[in-house]
Amino acid sequence: MSVELKKPTLKDYKGDQPTWCPGCGHFSVMAGLQRALVNLGLHPHEVIIVSGIGCSSKLPEYTRAYGFHTIHGRALPVAQGAKLAAPEMHVIVTGGDGDGYGIGAGHFVHAVRRNMDITYLVMDNSIYGLTKGQTSPTSPHNFVSKTTVKGNKEYPMDGLSIALANGATFVAQAFSGDVKRMTEIIEAAIKHKGFSLVNVLSPCVTYNKVNTYDFYREHLVDVPEPLPTREEAIRVVKEHGGHVHGILYVEKRPDFQTLLGIDWKMRDIAAGPMDEATIREIEA
């Protein structure tokens, strides 16, 4: 006899009280993620949230689901292991720009090209917030911080283009100042069958006085629909200096576990498993 579960609610996902600074963009990212999970009808016991180290990586403690707060830059390998071991679970990875694009950059590229069915939310505030305000891999050129007192002589890393160039099948950029759109984007990312990257511009109100909510409201260019090719998506990202907002590119391609032949019948997902005929058609 199967037990009928009641529909999940936001209350089901409420975890510990966040210790983020008032106004931090991460509050909205967490709200958007929880709302997306509820909208998809997923219960906390069907979700694993894996994080690295940083302010954003505290998210699994504040969201009631299975969670694993790992070590700096290593969230993606742990998440992929979890997904291989429990393919029926929905695996979400959360972390910051320092964690994902700095120490974790090598793992990022390989996770992208492996195309495992997980969702990666990079909560990008262009600063190391937890350690009190150092220049990060996505800090702008000439950015002044306690580690670049005369201005950042490096140029920011472009995670969107790296993902696009390495075969990512879902690439988006959201903004924590637009929760409705962000929620829609996260929902689409979770539904996507394959590796989905959502770089969320999520201002650090305490240590980054450049990449603020007002800055993004002024500079972000809307991308209303996914672009037809990854080359075009890279071109648009570059044209606007990375200040784009929306789902940039989506490609339907068998994910890693489908190619391994793992039994997807265990899963009950909104997107549904990809059938054999579709896989053969795509691979032909």
Q: Which is nearer to ligand SF4, 13 or 20 (CB)?
A: 20
SS3 call for 135: coil
In angstroms, give the least distance from the CB of 18 to ligand SF4. 8
In angstroms, give the least distance from the CB of 95 to ligand SF4. 12
| Residue 252: Cβ within 10 Å count | 13
The site partner of 21 among ligand SF4, Mg ion, none (C-beta below 5 to 8 Å per kind) is ligand SF4
Q: Which is nearer to ligand SF4, 139 or 169 (CB)?
A: 139
DSSP H or E run through 120? strand 119-124
Q: Distance between CA 145 and CA 123 in Å, rounded?
A: 19
If phi > 0 it is left, if psi is from -120 to 50 it is alpha, else beta; for residue 103 that is: alpha
In angstroms, give the least distance from the CB of 273 to Mg ion. 35
In angstroms, give the least distance from the CB of 124 to ligand SF4. 11
- The runs of H, that is alpha helices, within the chain are 26-39, 59-62, 75-85, 97-98, 105-114, 159-165, 179-191, 213-219, 230-239, 256-260, 276-283
Nearest partner of 90 among 112, 121, 114, judged by Cα? 121
Does residue 202 interact with Mg ion by CB under 5 A? no
Q: Which is nearer to ligand SF4, 73 or 129 (CB)?
A: 129
Q: Among residues 97, 158, 178, 255, which is the contact residue for Mg ion, using CB under 5 A? A: 97
By CB under 5 A, the residues from 108 to 147 that bind Mg ion are 125
In angstroms, give the least distance from the CB of 212 to ligand SF4. 11
The site partner of 175 among Mg ion, ligand SF4, none (C-beta below 5 to 8 Å per kind) is none
